[in-house]
Structure 1
Amino acid sequence: MIKNAPYRFVDFESISFQYGHKDSLVNKYDSRTGMFQYLDRRDSLVKEHLRLTKDDLLYLHRKAADLGFWDFPSKETGDTSKVADGKAVRYIIEFKYKEKTKRVIFDTDYFGNPKLIDANQRLIAEIQKKLTDVENRGKK
């Protein structure tokens, strides 16, 4: 099944992860460049260079496959007709392969299938955990 999967790791090129308030996605990571920037607890913009290993990328690829990322709708956005209360966070997850790209936009105020919302939240948590692990690994 993995051999014939539409998104194969042998064709993998990069992962891009962005998040923040809908009007400003200042927290970003791109595995192609290794550029990682985020707002810390004091609202200071921190820029770092983080390289995910091939094993890290394989782990995220498999986790995305396990959670059904390839079948997620590309837009899972909240109701834009409502006045934004400023608390909703937007996540953009993008896996790039040689011939295909899967990009999902997920808002925390998205109202849809609870299983889909849970799968999105679990994938986001895995990506954030992996970035934190790599950051801590570099500080040792």
Structure 2
Amino acid sequence: MTGRQPGHRRHTPLWIVGLAGLTALAYWAFLGWDQQKETDPVTGAQTGPYSAWQVLGLGLVLALLVFETGRRGRPWLAGVVVPAVLTVAFSVDAATDPDGDGLWVIGAVLVALGSALGAGPVAALGAYAGRRSRTRTRTR
């Protein structure tokens, strides 16, 4: 027995589209709209374009999305789709920035690696929680 629920494969394309859409929406809601770097008037140093709250908010939303996808029995999907869509969204945003310095490729590699390394364990934790929940439900 594989542990799959009936209709699990049949709904996978819907999960891919939904997960990709929610990931892209979260990226644009937190980071996609902000292109302005801040310049310190005293030192002239530039920061940004993102504030800490934007990055933390995106991370929290994506962690919840990945966890829930894993909990619902699709950890591999969460571990692949979210990092891929996040990397594409960042790449398009950074590559089309008129004030970009051309280093967006390095940023894209870091986004891909970081999101994959983050999504994997969170999806696995969600899958574990889902299995525990299903096991408890059956034994009652």
Same fold (TM over 0.5): no
More strand by share: 1
Larger CA Rg, structure 1 vs 2:
2
TM-score (structure 2 length as normaliser): 0.28
More helix by share: 2
